[in-house]
A and B are shown apart, each in its own frame.
Chain A
Amino acid sequence: MLPALVFLIVVTQLPFVATVVISFVRWNALAPENRGFAAFDNYKAVFTDPALRSAIWTTVLLTVTVVLVSLVLGLGLALLLDRKFKGRGIVRTMLITPFLVVPVAAALLWKHALYNASYGLINGSLTWIWKLFGSADPPQPDWMTASPLAAVEVALIWQWTPFMMLILLAGLQSRPADAVEAARVDGASTWDVFRYLTLPHLRRYLELAALLGTVYVVQNFDAVFTITSGGLGTGNLPYTIYQTFYQAHDYGRASAQGVVVVVCSLLVATFALRTVSSLLREEVTR
């Protein structure tokens, strides 16, 4: 086991330690002569930077919205897919597809093929519908400018709903059928079954899906980078760090931002791991 442990430490912990060290260094790649120990200057800059503060708020808003909405949609889809009907396999595969599309490709698709105000599908459909009714002047809203954050959120929800659906579907299919049968015999309505049997059973799975989703969506970069280039108040934490690193070439400050973000996501991850481990415990004791 020791080599594996050493290997794990080398590939996961050492880079992080290096990041922590660099975060105390004054290091801009394009000013090599001005390198040195910076003490807490980078962290001071991080906490006084208004752009980063708004990025934190944007990240929270983006993550919470995407996770909650895709959780609700995923639950609905999972409940529908839990029924038996013709062509269920095909429908399930088609619903999972958005999750399999490469994130950057998906973001490009949303930006150009769907949202674009002059040649996107949404405005094209509006034009077509208006034409059916003989109007030559259809509304052509500029989706990404009118509601930039919502544009990013919708693209992400489209991508993460299948993930939520999969986890919840697994939860639904592990539901003991006899309990439902018994409830039916006792005269429970469909709503009662859902409210008193399905939902309590799914609680763990909902928590797991929400926490895993949060861990992933917090890190999202592709959609923000591609759809809005972080403009109009959509710059989240990963994008802000990217800018500090690639545009400002300020390795010290970018590392400090990274450390702050890792500390925050560790808090989230701790909860996630607790949930997962309690779930595993139940599986084992069953």
Chain B
Amino acid sequence: MRARSPGRTVRGERSAVRPRRRGPVGLVAATVAVALSLGGCYRGAGDLGNEGRDTINVLMVNNPQMVDLQRLTAEHFTRRTGIKVNYTVLPEDDLRDKMSQDFSSQAGQYDVASLSNYETPIYARNGWLSPLGERAARDTSFDQADLLAPVRKSLTAADGKVYAQPFYGESSFLMYRKDVLREAGLTMPPKPTWKQVAALAAKLDGARPGMKGICLRGQPGWGQLAAPLTSVVNTFGGTWFTKDWQARVNSPEFTAATRFYVGLLREHGEAGAPQAGYTECLNDMQQGKVAMWYDATAGAGSLESGDSKVAGKVGYAPAPVERTASSGWLYTWAWGVQKASTHQDAAWKFISWASGKGYERLVGERLGWSKVPAGKRASTYRDPDYLRRSGAFAAATKNAITSARPDDPGVQPRPAPGIQFVGIPEFSDLGTKVSHEVSSAIAGRQSVPEALDKSQRLAEEVARAYAKR
């Protein structure tokens, strides 16, 4: 939204240079410029000549694991297969935008893109992805059966076909300071309930100067606050929508869960909760400002890394529950192939390499075992080298992922897959708007029922559109 200046001439200003008459060259250039822009063939920087028989364009999110992949590609993939890989690496929001533009028009600019388990079923239903199941079955070295079942299932669309292969996966669990609990004479139950966690948070609040009981995300966003909150809602017996598309956001169960979440944060949560997301909680945990943290399993890798002050002092418990057997979420970044891509074979070769067992070992040996894109293969958790490095949280992570049930995460049947989200295109907007309301309840600007009544209206709008279909 830049203001444009309607080229006003300034009186009293004499142009010192008489404008020269332009020759035909200038006109041609101008015409070409217009023609190009009207042609609308805008190509991003990623389009670096996709003519070669063995060049593929890959669009991916700018997470550290992907950046490592980019570094290792030339030496370990292109040299072996002769397939050149052009990467376009973008932040998550930009990635989703570019990806949906390219895939929805089936422009074929990108052969492979990194999708999460949120987009994969949606894209597959729109007919934008190539099914990968048969290729995976034929490719013996890939070992499809080695993939953890929930991860594999979350990348399977409604038609029962696999449309993406995981690069790494994560769930959620409870991280807690073993030393602080021991000093306070408390023990963490092997399978804690949320009520027990709340009681522990109350006792641990102030266990050391400046230490709060628990860190939970409060920053608005469907990928921030809405994720842990939804996993709590599930286990309290709530849901966003019923099977037949009735919005249930201000139902008693959803309200009880939100009240619990907001109350726990307001009483014993970290300081600055309404702006605290994953990064802030990680900092708080590392700085000893909180005794417990419920968040993504990926957080453990950072807590146990060499430069972390709390390495070795953290214990891991399954995601707390109330009415369900488990409540950990499931998230994975995976590779999908665009249906319109003319390099299907080369694309599969790339996926087979990047998501294969060999690549995990390669990263472990070349860059360090903490950088392995884990959480997708059973074999990773049998690898002695990996276990030696990540033993503290490896088993807890694997259990969290394998007990996740993306198709049935609550106490009632769901209309769409997803644990910490609802697998419909509208959820990114709905979840974000609702998380804004809940975040403002955490800040004490409105009550939980007020926040959820507003949210219910938003959810009803979405539900109406689906009930008609």
Q: Which residues of A contact B209 (CB under 8 A)?
A: 136
Q: Which residues of A contact B283 (CB under 8 A)?
A: 112, 116, 118-119
Indicate if the CB atoms of B1 and A262 lie closer than 8 Å.
yes
Indicate if the CB atoms of A269 and B219 lie closer than 8 Å.
no
Of the candidates A227, A249, A266, A268, the one whose C-beta lies within 8 Å of that of B425 is: A249
Interface residues of A in 142-164 (CB under 8 A from B): 142-145, 148
With A and B bound together, what is the CA distance between A237 and B37 in angstroms? 29
Q: Is B289 an interface residue when CB atoms closer than 8 A count as contact?
A: yes
- Across the interface, name the chain B residue whose C-beta is closest to A120: B272
Indicate if the CB atoms of B13 and A144 lie closer than 8 Å.
no
Indicate if the CB atoms of A29 and B221 lie closer than 8 Å.
no
Contacts A119-B287, A144-B272 known; A2 to B122 CB distance under 8 Å?
no
Indicate if the CB atoms of B12 and A228 lie closer than 8 Å.
no
Indicate if the CB atoms of A145 and B275 lie closer than 8 Å.
yes
Indicate if the CB atoms of A230 and B272 lie closer than 8 Å.
no
With A and B bound together, what is the CA distance between A6 and B22 in angstroms? 13
Choose among A247, A248, A261 the residue with the greatest number of B CB atoms under 10 Å from its CB.
A247
Interface residues of B in 418-444 (CB under 8 A from A): 425-426, 428-429, 432-433, 436, 439-440, 443-444
Indicate if the CB atoms of B275 and A284 lie closer than 8 Å.
no
Indicate if the CB atoms of A12 and B272 lie closer than 8 Å.
no
Of the candidates B277, B289, B425, the one whose C-beta lies within 8 Å of that of A30 is: B425
Indicate if the CB atoms of B220 and A118 lie closer than 8 Å.
no
Indicate if the CB atoms of B34 and A6 lie closer than 8 Å.
yes
Contacts A219-B1, A262-B1 known; A231 to B219 CB distance under 8 Å?
yes
**When each residue 254-277 of chain A gets 1 if its CB lies under 8 Å from chain B and 0 otherwise, what string results?**
000010011001101100110001
Q: Which residues of A contact B126 (CB under 8 A)?
A: 30, 32-33
Choose among B10, B209, B271 the residue with the greatest number of A CB atoms under 10 Å from its CB.
B271
Q: Is B27 an interface residue when CB atoms closer than 8 A count as contact?
A: yes
Q: Which residues of B contact A143 (CB under 8 A)?
A: 272
Indicate if the CB atoms of A229 and B287 lie closer than 8 Å.
no
**When each residue 91-102 of chain B gets 1 if its CB lies under 8 Å from chain A and 0 otherwise, what string results?**
001001100110
**When each residue 34-69 of chain A gets 1 if its CB lies under 8 Å from chain B and 0 otherwise, what string results?**
000000000000000001000000000000000000
Indicate if the CB atoms of B220 and A231 lie closer than 8 Å.
yes
With A and B bound together, what is the CA distance between A277 and B12 in angstroms? 11
Q: Which residues of B contact A238 (CB under 8 A)?
A: 1
Output the least CB separation between A235 and chain B (Å).
8
- Across the interface, name the chain A residue whose C-beta is closest to B211: A118
Using C-beta atoms within 8 Å of the partner chain, give the interface range for chain B: 35 or more
Contacts A269-B3, A284-B12 known; A10 to B429 CB distance under 8 Å?
no
Q: Which residues of A contact B22 (CB under 8 A)?
A: 1-3
Indicate if the CB atoms of A281 and B432 lie closer than 8 Å.
no
Interface residues of B in 69-114 (CB under 8 A from A): 93, 96-97, 100-101, 104
Indicate if the CB atoms of A281 and B12 lie closer than 8 Å.
yes
Q: Is B182 an interface residue when CB atoms closer than 8 A count as contact?
A: no
**Number of chain A residues close to chain B: CB under 8 A:** 69
**When each residue 187-215 of chain B gets 1 if its CB lies under 8 Å from chain A and 0 otherwise, what string results?**
00000000000000000000001101000
Interface residues of B in 207-259 (CB under 8 A from A): 209-210, 212, 219-222, 224
Q: Is A16 an interface residue when CB atoms closer than 8 A count as contact?
A: yes
Indicate if the CB atoms of A233 and B440 lie closer than 8 Å.
yes
Interface residues of B in 253-280 (CB under 8 A from A): 270-275, 277, 280
Of the candidates A117, A245, A265, the one whose C-beta lies within 8 Å of that of B271 is: A117
With A and B bound together, what is the CA distance between A118 and B287 in angstroms? 9
**When each residue 217-249 of chain A gets 1 if its CB lies under 8 Å from chain B and 0 otherwise, what string results?**
011000000011111110101100101111111
Q: Which residues of A contact B439 (CB under 8 A)?
A: 231-232
Indicate if the CB atoms of B1 and A258 lie closer than 8 Å.
yes
Indicate if the CB atoms of B425 and A284 lie closer than 8 Å.
no
Q: Which residues of A contact B64 (CB under 8 A)?
A: none
Q: Is B11 an interface residue when CB atoms closer than 8 A count as contact?
A: yes
Q: Is B160 an interface residue when CB atoms closer than 8 A count as contact?
A: no
Indicate if the CB atoms of A118 and B34 lie closer than 8 Å.
no
Of the candidates A10, A119, A140, A261, the one whose C-beta lies within 8 Å of that of B1 is: A261
Indicate if the CB atoms of B425 and A117 lie closer than 8 Å.
no
Indicate if the CB atoms of A118 and B1 lie closer than 8 Å.
no
Output the least CB separation between A208 and chain B (Å).
14
Indicate if the CB atoms of A7 and B274 lie closer than 8 Å.
no
Q: Which residues of B contact A268 (CB under 8 A)?
A: 3
Q: Is A73 an interface residue when CB atoms closer than 8 A count as contact?
A: no
Q: Is B33 an interface residue when CB atoms closer than 8 A count as contact?
A: yes
Shortest Cβ-Cβ A-B pairs, 10 listed: A30-B425, A269-B3, A117-B271, A248-B429, A117-B272, A3-B30, A6-B30, A118-B289, A231-B220, A3-B26
Given contacts A117-B270, A232-B439, A261-B1, 7 further A-B contacts (CB under 8 A): A29-B101, A29-B104, A30-B122, A228-B274, A228-B275, A230-B436, A269-B3
